[in-house]
A and B are shown apart, each in its own frame.
Chain A
Amino acid sequence: MVASARSKQIWLATLGVPLLLLSLYPLQQSIAEKKESIAEQQQELLLRSGKLLKKLSLGYDSLLADIYWTRTVQYNGGILERGESDFSLLAPLLDVTTDLDPRLDVAYQYGAIFLSEKVPAGAGRPDQATALVRKGIALNPTNWRLYYNLGFVYYWYLRDYKQASQTFWEGSKVPGALPWMGAMAAHIAETGGSRDTSRFMWSQIYESTQDVTVRANALAHLQVLRTQDDLDLLKTFIETYKKRTGHAPTSVQDLANAGLLLSVPQDPGGYVYVLDANGEPAVDPQSPMAERVRDWSGRK
């Protein structure tokens, strides 16, 4: 009798527990939907002192650094995905991360880019970026790549070519620095901003990082530079067309028909180039490249 009562309990548990757990699934979905409809909780960073955290970590500062780094990536990635514009915690998170582990190179590179990029692609605070990377250099004076990151911020985001050249020059003197650092310093000092220099720098970033977000950002910049190259080339073909025919083309197809182009070229977004109202080559307004080229126009 006792045995049959126990056996009943076992059957009840075997069937009942999975059923009860399964019933939680729709309930949890409903709760999650309701929570999303409530105003999002403001993210807080309660402890902003990396130095204090380092003391409190009782020797587990490297682990804590990894946790804060993961949190930083999640925070920034979430903002970029949602298209928001408030990056106020990005600099403090990176600061704490690098206080806990001053040798976390990826954090400095990440900060250099995403603190400097204009909203909504980043925080729009190149001053915070330079402060972060300078801190990294002070803590890691033999890491030439940090000089590269700093020089890049001065070059691309602040357009301070003198400071950029100076930074690349200082970095070139660090043992182990790649030879092109010195060449870069000289080239920037001589020519200021140039598309070739920019392309080289973004290519370096694209090839040297394994962070998906940083790579995507670098690729986007390289695509804009390529688009600008294409538009410049189309301008020369239009001039050639005008000289040959005596009149301006009405579309890019005219250039292909005249044998100046093998086919109508496309921008990196897959849209064919068009002529604007003034007969100048332009990106198709429907193309995702249109906004990027507009935002970054004037940059070299």
Chain B
Amino acid sequence: MSSVPLFVAVNTFRESVRDRVLYNLIFFALLMMAAAVLVGQISIGIERLVIINLGLSAISLLGLVMSVFIGVGLVYKEIEKRTLYSILAKPVRRWEFLAGKYLGLLLTLAINTALMTLGLFLALLYVDRAIGRADAHILLAVYFILLEFALVTALALFFSCFSTPILSTLYTLGLYVAGMFASDLRDAGALSSSGAVKAVTSVLYYALPNFSNFNVIGATAHGDPIPISLVWQNTAYAAIYILALLLAASAVFSNRNLK
């Protein structure tokens, strides 16, 4: 197996780390954890609930911002700076370049998420004075959030192969929102008397990336156990969808005229 994607990934990770925006976002997320502790003082009796809700939401929202805004520039920046040509002049295939870019951003997101999760656990430790086995389900929620990032990044990368950053952002965010409403679309279609509407909404439900699959923040805050079957199902769902997007991105990028 070629190690070129890994080299590109490590380089992408280094570039992302140099980007000061990431530090600000991490700082902001950690600030939100501290705010959660303060808010918990007001909502006595539900401090833990508030901290977990605010902490996981901060990790999710800020990671989403990173995924979209960095993801849409992954390919475009290289084209604009003309560095892509020197990279591809080396024995680097276009799909290897894409895979490396994707993995590099994913690595950045994973490390940032780990740091923010550490902040969340520190906030919980401050409130509860102990971290127990019951808190392990928070890690599952974080894992699902990471799956969400992986899917959003794949979307952003796909659009960045043929579109400008602004349009790619709009398309990615648009699909994210549509994906969050996928269930509602299906339910709305089911209420319709038109067979065509039913069919279209049903197709859309299955075709759109269903981001609500990964949302277990509320359940985690209430301490509900997450079924293990959901873990591997969501993992499989994300992996298949990401693979499809990366294949499509690779096909588009391979046929793109870079002159």
Do A and B truly interact? yes
Is the C-beta of A173 less than 8 angstroms from some C-beta in chain B?
no
- B residues neighboring A (CB under 8 Å): 39, 42-46, 49-50, 53-54, 57, 60-61, 177, 180-181, 184, 211-212, 215, 217-218, 221-222
Complex: how many Å from CA A65 to CA B57?
12
The total of interchain contacts (Cβ-Cβ below 8 angstroms) comes to 54
Given A59-B211, A59-B212, A62-B53, the answer on whether A70 and B39 have CB atoms closer than 8 Å is: yes
Given A63-B57, A66-B53, A66-B54, the answer on whether A58 and B180 have CB atoms closer than 8 Å is: yes
A211 adjacent to B222 (CB under 8 Å): no
A104 adjacent to B46 (CB under 8 Å): yes
B42 adjacent to A62 (CB under 8 Å): no
Given A66-B49, A66-B50, the answer on whether A60 and B43 have CB atoms closer than 8 Å is: no
Complex: how many Å from CA A66 to CA B37?
13
A62 adjacent to B45 (CB under 8 Å): no
Residues of A within 8 A of B45 (CB): 106, 209-211
A212 adjacent to B44 (CB under 8 Å): yes
Complex: how many Å from CA A106 to CA B44?
9
Complex: how many Å from CA A104 to CA B49?
9
Chain A at the B interface: SS class: helix
Complex: how many Å from CA A70 to CA B36?
11
Complex: how many Å from CA A14 to CA B186?
60
**Closest CB in chain A relative to B77 CB, distance in Å:** 28
B43 adjacent to A63 (CB under 8 Å): no
Complex: how many Å from CA A73 to CA B218?
20
Cross-chain pairs A/B with CB under 8 angstroms, 12 sampled = A58-B177, A60-B60, A62-B217, A63-B217, A65-B53, A66-B50, A70-B39, A70-B42, A70-B43, A70-B50, A104-B46, A209-B45
Q: Mark A47-63, 1 if CB is under 8 A from B, else 0.
A: 00000000100111111
- 8 other A-B residue contacts (CB within 8 Å) besides A63-B217, A106-B46, A211-B45: A58-B177, A60-B60, A60-B217, A62-B53, A63-B57, A66-B39, A73-B42, A103-B222
Residues of A within 8 A of B54 (CB): 63, 66
**Closest CB in chain A relative to B128 CB, distance in Å:** 14
Report which residue of A58, A209, A211 has the largest number of chain B beta carbons within 10 angstroms of its beta carbon: A58
Interface residues on A, range: 20 to 34
Is the C-beta of A95 less than 8 angstroms from some C-beta in chain B?
no
**Closest CB in chain A relative to B209 CB, distance in Å:** 13
Residues of B within 8 A of A168 (CB): none
A69 adjacent to B221 (CB under 8 Å): no
A210 adjacent to B44 (CB under 8 Å): yes
Residues of B within 8 A of A99 (CB): none
In the complex, residue of chain A having the shortest beta-carbon distance to the beta carbon of B211 = A59
Complex: how many Å from CA A58 to CA B222?
19
Complex: how many Å from CA A253 to CA B83?
98
In the complex, residue of chain A having the shortest beta-carbon distance to the beta carbon of B45 = A210
Complex: how many Å from CA A61 to CA B216?
11
Is the C-beta of A74 less than 8 angstroms from some C-beta in chain B?
yes
Is the C-beta of A101 less than 8 angstroms from some C-beta in chain B?
yes
* Pairs A-B, 4 closest by C-beta atoms: A210-B45, A62-B218, A63-B57, A59-B215
Within 8 A of B (CB), among A197-226: 209-212
**Closest CB in chain A relative to B15 CB, distance in Å:** 29
Residues of A within 8 A of B50 (CB): 66, 70
Within 8 A of B (CB), among A46-105: 55, 58-63, 65-66, 69-70, 73-74, 101, 103-104
Report which residue of B39, B44, B54, B177 has the largest number of chain A beta carbons within 10 angstroms of its beta carbon: B44
Q: From A55, A66, A74, A103, give the contact of B181 (CB < 8 A).
A: A55
**Closest CB in chain B relative to A157 CB, distance in Å:** 22
Residues of A within 8 A of B44 (CB): 210-212
Within 8 A of B (CB), among A3-60: 55, 58-60
